[in-house]
Amino acid sequence: MQSLLPIEVDAHLTELVKAGHVDPVLDEMERRAEAADFPIVGRAVGRFLELQARMIGARRVVELGSGFGYSAYWFSRAVGENGEVVCTDSDPDNARLAEGYLRRAGRWDPVRYHVGDALEGLATVDGEVDVVYCDIDKDGYPAAWAAAAERLRVGGLFLCDNVLWDGRVAGLQPSDHADGHAAARQGDHAAG
């Protein structure tokens, strides 16, 4: 996992978050991600996502691309037991893992998991939502924004992972993902 911050600053922030939030299930999820080289947002960003959702009083969050539930852990803390976090992922194994982790962490109650296409999962949610968190393939970001914009309440948040893509969207890093870069740039401009 790359950081926009200098390594030392990122490590310091991560240690601050770890000191303030101890959960063996979260530790286990992080170890799994590292061992499998599976991308997760990490604790500092997870806590940031939770704070963003709390600041707007979010009760309904939809994740487009949820993996095995790491970011859902943080959003479930924000929405509380009367809220709702709708997770989407195309891999049923990720859904199974997410349920196991989140149940053991006491975070499963507000979570509903849609296995299949992320935008189809968004379409299953009735009414407005407070937060849409987009972590799908980068070339899908413009379509995700278009679908989310119709569903977000006034004052809601459309949050995206990896929009700067380690500088690749600005041509600062070489890459063979030109289509993904163009989509990320288009998404940046559409949401801006």
What pTM value is reported for the model?
0.83
Average pLDDT for 5-32:
82
pLDDT at 179: 52
The answer to whether 98 touches 71, Cβ cutoff 8 Å, is no
Average pLDDT for 146-174:
78
Mean pLDDT lowest among 84-98, 103-117, 174-188: 174-188
Select the more confidently predicted residue: 178 or 134. 134
Residue 165 has pLDDT above 80, yes or no: no
**Cα first-last separation, the chain:** 25
| Alpha carbons 150 and 128: distance in angstroms, whole number | 8
| Alpha carbons 83 and 27: distance in angstroms, whole number | 24
Bridge partner list, 89: 115
Tokens 């095995």 belong to which residue? 68
Residue 171 has pLDDT above 70, yes or no: no
pLDDT at 167: 57
Segment (H or E) for 3:
none
Fold observed for domain 7-191: Rossmann fold (3.40.50)
Residue 49 has pLDDT above 80, yes or no: yes
Q: Which amino acid is residue 126, in one-letter code?
A: D
Give the dihedral sign, CA 71/160/53/80. negative
**Segments making up each domain of the chain, as ranges:** 7-191
| Alpha carbons 133 and 60: distance in angstroms, whole number | 11
**How many CB atoms are closer than 10 A to CB 151?**
18
Residue 115 has pLDDT above 90, yes or no: yes
Chain segment 121-132, per-residue pLDDT in tens? 999 999 999 999
Task: List all residues 6 or more positions away from 80 whose beta carbon is below 8 Å from its beta carbon.
Answer: 59, 110
